[in-house]
Structure 1
Amino acid sequence: MSKVAVVTGSNKGIGFALNKELGEKAVKELEAEGLKVAFHQLDIDNQESIDKFAKHLKEKHQGLDLLVNNAAIAYKMADSTPFNEQAKNTIRINFTGTLNLCKALFPLLKSHARVVNVSSRIGMLKIVKDAEFRNKLISESLSVNELAGLMAHFVELARLGKNESLCSSAYGMSKVGEV
C-alpha cells in the first residue's frame, strides 16, 4: 500500500509558493518513482470540509502516514482590520482549525505516522509577556481543553483591548498555541 502525506495550506502563502515553484518538478519526480500526487479541497475553518476530507482519506487510503499542518492566516502589519477581529479570526483558523483537523485525522494516523506543525520565530514562547500565562502554557499537565481556554482568554483580552499585557501578535499567539 502506498504512503499518504497531507500538506495543508498549499493554496496561498508559503505552501502555494513552494507548490507553484516546485510543484511541476516534484510531481514529475514523484511520478517517475511510481508515486501519485493528488489534490483535495480542505478548509480547516469549516468542520464539514474537515469531516469530508477525513472520510475521503479513510475510504480511499485507509490511513495517513504524514500530516503537515501548514494552513494559517496572517494579517499584514498595515491591515486596517481591528486587532480584536484579527485575534478572533487568527486564533479560530490557525489554532482551532488546526486542532479540529488533528482531532479528525489523528484516528487515521498509521502507527509510524508523523505530524509536523509549521510555525515561525514569531510563535516562540518569549512573545508571551505575562509570566503566569506563559507558565500555564508550558505546564506538563496542560490539557487540550485548558490550552483552548488560554487561546479564548487571549481573544477575550483582545476584544476588550487589553491584550498588550499578554501578547501583541495574534499570529504569534496562534502559533504558540499550535506548538
Structure 2
Amino acid sequence: MHVAIVTGANKGIGNGIVQLLVQGLKPASDWHVYLTARNEKLGMEAVKVFEDKGLHVKFHQLDITDADSRHKLAEFMKANYPDGIDILVNNAGIAYKTNSTAPFGEQARVTIATNYTATVKMCTEFLPLMAKDSRLVNVASMMAMMSLRAMSKEMAARFKGHLTLQEVDELIASFVKQVVFECSLFFDLTHLYSHEEGHAEVGDHEKVGFSNSAYGMSKVGLWKATGILAEQLKSDPRHILINS
C-alpha cells in the first residue's frame, strides 16, 4: 500500500492538494491519502466533505509545532506502512493578516517557529521514513523571492551563498529571538538568546538587512533549507526527490 500525507489540510491549499492527490493517484485502491490538521474536529469535518463527494480520505491529527504530535504520526506511519511514505507535502503554516495588531516581534517568533523550524523538523524527522523513489514537497511562496529582493545586497548574498543547515538556523535565529528548545534544530543556541533580543523584537531587522516580512523570512529560510537537504539526498540510494 502506498501512502501520501498532506499537513495543514483541513482547508485552503492543503485541502486542494489532498483533492488532487485523491483524484490523481492511480490505481486509487493502492493509495491511502492522509489529511492532517491540528484540530481533530475540523480535520474530520474536512474528511467528511470528501467522503460526501465519493472521495476516500484518511485523517490523522498533527500539530507540526508539537514534537509529541510529530512523533505520534511518525510511529503510526512506521507501524502501518513499513515500506515507507511515498509522498509528504509540508503545507502547514501560519500567516498573520496585514491588519494584525500583534507586535512584529511576536509575529516573527510564531511565524518562524511554525513555517521554518517546525517544517524543517518535519523534514529531518520524516526523511528516514520515506520510501524508495518518494517525493517530499515543502510548500513555498513568492514572498520568499520578494523578501530576498527586499533585503540588503549583503544579506541576500548570505542566503544565496553556501550555507549549512546550522548556519541557516543561526541566520534565521538572528532575525528573531525564539524559545531555545523550540528553535534550535541541530545545536544549542542558548548563547544567541541569553543576553540579546532578536532583531525583529528590537525593531532593527531592516537596518541590518533583513526583510520586513516575518512570513517572507520564514519562507526564505525554508527555501534555503530545502535546497541544502536536496543536496544531501543526492547520494541517498532511495532516490528521494525534495523540492520547494
TM bracket, shorter-chain basis: 0.7 to 0.9
1:1-179 to 2 correspondences below 5 Å: 2-16=1-15, 18=16, 23=19, 33-34=28-29, 35-36=31-32, 37-62=57-82, 63-124=84-145, 126-140=148-162, 142-155=163-176, 156-165=198-207, 166-179=210-223
Q: Which moved more, 1:85-94 or 1:159-168?
A: 159-168
Distance 1:78 1:54, change over 3 A: same
Distance 1:29 1:126, change over 3 A: closer
Root-mean-square deviation (CA, aligned residues, Å) is 2.2
How far did 1:149 drift?
0.8
Distance 1:88 1:31, change over 3 A: same
Structure 2 counterpart of 1:158, one-letter code: A
How far did 1:79 drift?
0.5
Q: Can you give the 5+ residue segments of structure 1 that lack an aligned partner in the other structure?
A: none
How far does the alpha carbon of each residue in 1:50-83 deviate from its partner, in whole angstroms, 9 at most, with x for none? 1111111111112111111111100000000000
Distance 1:104 1:135, change over 3 A: same
1:64 and 1:107 mapped to 2: Cα distance? 9
Give SS of 1:123's match: helix
Structure 2 counterpart of 1:157, one-letter code: H
How far did 1:127 drift?
3.7
Do the aligned residues in 2 keep the contact of 1:128 with 1:173 (CA within 8 Å)? no
Give the number of equivalent residue pairs. 173
Higher relative contact order (CA closer than 8 Å, sequence separation 6+):
1
How far does the alpha carbon of each residue in 1:99-152 deviate from its partner, in whole angstroms, 9 at most, with x for none? 111111010112211111111111115344122222221223x11111111111
1:112 and 1:42 mapped to 2: Cα distance? 24
Structure 2 counterpart of 1:33, one-letter code: A
Structure 1 counterpart of 2:202, one-letter code: L
Structure 2 counterpart of 1:172, one-letter code: G
1:158 and 1:78 mapped to 2: Cα distance? 18
Distance 1:128 1:109, change over 3 A: farther
1:64 and 1:12 mapped to 2: Cα distance? 22
Compute the TM-score of the two structures, normalised by the length of structure 2: 0.65
Structure 2 counterpart of 1:42, one-letter code: L
How far did 1:12 drift?
3.6
